[in-house]
Amino acid sequence: MKTDDTQIQEMAEELHNMVCTWNHTDGCDWHYGNWEDNPTHARKKYYNAVKGIVDKHDTNRAKDMLALMRVGRRCQEKFQKEMKLLTRDW
């Protein structure tokens, strides 16, 4: 199954949203461009990361990895919330 650019772009955006820790005012240029006219450094970086996974494995593997990252993120947020509740009276 061939993966088109739109699928890779969507996965790249999801990956960016999950892991980018840069300041989006002046640190990350994701929002200063678009895919059609001006793919910025950040867009190219995340696109190439996803494309590398798709090329080495396949689209389903890339989607599975993103799904696992979403689960991991939710677990991390839940853990931090529970730790705050646990330690608030210490």
pLDDT (tens digit per residue) in 47-88? 999 999 999 999 999 999 999 999 999 999 999 999 998 898
Give percent of the chain above pLDDT 90.
72
Mean pLDDT value across the chain: 90
Using CA atoms of 25, 31, 32, 37 in order, give the dihedral in degrees to the nearest 10: 170
Average pLDDT over residues 3-30: 89
- Write down the pLDDT at residue 1: 46
Average pLDDT over residues 13-17: 94
The residue to which tokens 């919330």 are assigned: 81
Task: Tell me if the pTM is above 0.95.
Answer: no
